Amino acid sequence: MITSESLVNQSFRHTDNTLACDGVSIGSIVESVATPVYIYSARAIRDAYRAIDEAFASYPHAIHYALKANSTLAIVRLLRAIGSRADANSGGEIQVARRAGFASSDIVFTGVGKTREELESAIADGIGTINAESPGELDRIAAIASAHGREARVALRVNPDIDAKSHPNISTGLRINKFGVPLQDARAIYRERRDTRGLRFVGVHVHIGSQITTIEPLRRAAETLVSLALELRADGFSLEHVDLGGGLGIAYEGRPIIHPSDYAQAVIPELKRIGIPVVLEPGRAVVGHAGALVARVVDVKRFPDGRQFAVLDAGMGELIRPALYGSYHQIVPVAPRPGADRSWDIVGPICESSDVFAKERMMPALEVNDLVAILDAGAYGSVMASNYNRHLLPAEVMVDEGKWTTIRRRQTLDDVLALES
Ligand SMILES: Cc1ncc(COP(=O)(O)O)c(C=O)c1O
Question: How does pLDDT run across 333-388, given as a tens digit for each residue?
Answer: 999 999 999 999 999 999 998 999 999 999 999 999 999 999 999 999 999 999 99
Instruction: Give me the pLDDT at residue 34, please.
Output: 98
Q: How confident is the model at residue 5 (pLDDT cuts 50, 70, 90)?
A: low
Q: How far is the CA of 394 from the centre of ligand 1 (A)?
A: 24
Instruction: Give the mean model confidence (pLDDT) for residues 89-105.
Output: 98
CA distances from 19 to 41, 98, 132, 347 (A): 13, 35, 45, 21
Lowest mean pLDDT across 60-64, 175-179, 219-223, 327-331 = 175-179
Question: Is residue 59's pLDDT more than 70?
Answer: yes
Beta strand 241-243 pairing with 278-280: parallel
Cβ within 8 Å of residue 335, ≥6 positions away: 17, 18, 19, 27, 370, 371
Q: Give percent above pLDDT 70 in the chain.
A: 96
Pocket probe mutation, ligand 1, options 281, 324, 325, 380, max atoms within 8 Å of Cβ = 281
Q: How far is the CA of 285 from the centre of ligand 1 (A)?
A: 10
Cβ within 8 Å of residue 323, ≥6 positions away: 316, 352, 354, 355, 356
Q: What phi and psi, each to the nearest 5 degrees, are found at residue 358?
A: -155, 140
- Cβ of residue 36 lying under 6 Å from some atom of ligand 1: no
Q: Is 226 left (phi over 0), alpha (psi -120 to 50) or beta?
A: alpha
Q: How confident is the model at residue 7 (pLDDT cuts 50, 70, 90)?
A: low
Instruction: Give me the pLDDT at residue 170, please.
Output: 61
- Cβ of residue 282 lying under 6 Å from some atom of ligand 1: yes
Burial class (CB in 10 A: 0-12, 13-18, 19+), 361: middle
Half-sphere exposure in the Cβ direction for 368 (13 Å, CA): 5
Lowest mean pLDDT across 60-69, 220-229, 254-263, 303-312 = 254-263
Q: How far is the CA of 171 from the centre of ligand 1 (A)?
A: 10
Cβ within 8 Å of residue 118, ≥6 positions away: 90, 91, 94, 109
Each residue of 318-336: pLDDT tens digit? 999 999 999 999 999 999 9
Instruction: Give me the pLDDT at residue 255, please.
Output: 79
